[in-house]
Amino acid sequence: MNYRHAFHAGNFADVAKHLALVSVLLHLRKKDTPFAVIDSHAGRGVYDLRGEEAVRTGEAADGIGRLAGLHGGPPALTTYLELARTEGTYPGSPLIAAKLLRVQDRLVAVEKHPEDAAALAVALKPYRNAHAENADGYARLLALLPPPERRAAILIDPPYEAADEFAEAARAMANALRRFATGIYLVWFPIKSPSEADGFCGEVMAAGARKALRLDVKLNAVREDRLTAAGFVVVNPPFGFEDEMRTALALALPPMGATARFLWLTGEG
């Protein structure tokens, strides 16, 4: 299965992941001091939900498409829905982040695939503090850390196309923590093999994260032709993050036929 963003944009896992990103960024905005956002595998920035990839999987229709009538909830949910419910398109993580930047904040979005990087640059062009790069995300991540702002959200969201992607992501996380231990990290992963996902989370714990929350989301109906489970680890989650996500997902997941599981890998909320 190909996990590139275009095939899964706006699905149940994207909803959960982007809710988490919005929650983190709203927390960072509470202080006047600037923050950075680093997106190591940023994708195209915006996705055509009528395009070939999205239509082929149909995941957006069963994801963000099921939330048309959803209103209210905690700030992360209401803000996310304002950004994500757009006619015929779905914003990726760099565009969501760019829309939440203040004048003192900045975004560096890195994408390896040249065509996607070119589209990303176009998507971010209206945002003065958002910069797109065509480069290897893992290499650029280490070069960008620690950020001069000393406050940052770092999203590691690779496509998991390579056989050793889990190992590569775990190494990147370990190296990043050595350079910038206080950053807020969100690391996404698909779940096709529970043991592989558990092993990856174990590597994150072994990397020295003092506080790490794992959040899995899963469709109730299992299908072989579709991504049905995914997770992400949030290292150094902000105060109140778990409570806000529990409340938001309790509203957002049932219409999509999905459930969530929270597990503290280390530390506590």
Alpha helix (H) residue ranges in the chain: 5-8, 12-28, 52-57, 75-84, 93-100, 114-124, 137-144, 165-179, 194-206, 241-252
| Eight-state DSSP code of residue 86 | B
Asked if 225 is an active-site residue, the reply is: no
- Strand 36-39 and strand 106-111: the pairing is parallel
Q: What letters, b where the CB count within 10 A reaches 16 and e where it falls short, cover 44-65?
A: bbbbebeeebbeebebbebbbb
| Residues 6 or more apart in contact with residue 50 via CB below 8 angstroms | 88
Residue whose tokens read 């275009």: 6
Letter string b/e over residues 148-169, b meaning 16 or more CB atoms within 10 A of that residue's CB = eeeebbbbbbbbbeeeebbeeb
* Cα–Cα distance for residue pair 15/59, rounded to 1 Å: 11
Residues 151, 34 contacting (CB under 8 angstroms)? yes
Residues forming beta bridges with residue 36, ordered by sequence position: 106, 152
Cα–Cα distance measured from residue 19 to residue 15, given in angstroms and rounded to the nearest whole number? 6
Choose, from 157, 198, 216, 243, the residue flagged as catalytic.
Answer: 157
List active site positions.
157
